[in-house]
Amino acid sequence: VIKNTLGYLLGAAGIMGVVVICKIFQYGIIPGATYARKIESVENINIINENKKDFKTNLWCNNAFGMGGNNTLLLIKKCICKE
């Protein structure tokens, strides 16, 4: 979703994914894939091509693949704080 909307961000792509995940936790809206389209012959695949509201999950995965083998995978869990 990030790359097809913003283009290649090189070193900033990983942190942009983290920012988007934090905003999903904050607002509960998943941004749709800009150029995705539904393939009618494929079943059981949920393609999000429009913004999806009220999506409830507490765990996201962010993959960042850099040049020269600098690859990371982050699992980010939403913290639910009690006041």
- Tens digits of per-residue pLDDT, 72-83? 888 999 887 777
pLDDT of 56 reads 74
pLDDT of 75 reads 92
User: Over the stretch 2-48, which tens digit does the pLDDT of each residue have?
Assistant: 666 666 676 677 788 888 888 888 888 888 777 777 667 666 766 67
pLDDT of 1 reads 56
The runs of H, that is alpha helices, within 1-83 are 2-6, 13-27
**C-alpha to C-alpha distance for 75 and 62, rounded to whole angstroms:** 6
**Nearest Cα to Cα of residue 74 among 11, 8, 21, 9:** 21
